[in-house]
Amino acid sequence: MWGCNYLSFEDGRWGGWFPGSPEMLLICGLIFFLAVLLAVLILKSWSQRCNSSSRDRIDSLSILKARFAKGEITREEFVRMKEVLS
């Protein structure tokens, strides 16, 4: 109407609304989704790896304290092993 032609489907395009065909928009959206998913997975594995090392150190220290409390190791051994863990 009056030469506007905003919603025409000529040449697989949607006029002035989207730059490309619906298939191209779907492909671009899929690529974007996969890139975001990959970034989330990488960040998640990185944070788990960082948290696991500190968690292991805390668990080791609690085991060391329990062994010292039971009398399995001497005070000197406890101090030396604690320095190694820190």
Both tokens of 33, joined, read 């989704």
- What's the rounded Cα separation, in Å, for the pair 7 and 13? 9
The residue that leads in pLDDT, 58 or 71, is 71
CA distance 16 to 8: 9
Instruction: State how far the Cα of 65 lies from the Cα of 51, in Å rounded to an integer.
Output: 21
**What pLDDT score was predicted for residue 77?**
92
Rounded distance between C-alpha atoms, residue 78 and residue 68, angstroms: 7
Global pTM value: 0.41
User: Model confidence over 5-61: pLDDT tens digits?
Assistant: 555 555 555 444 556 677 777 888 899 999 999 999 998 888 777 666 666 667 888
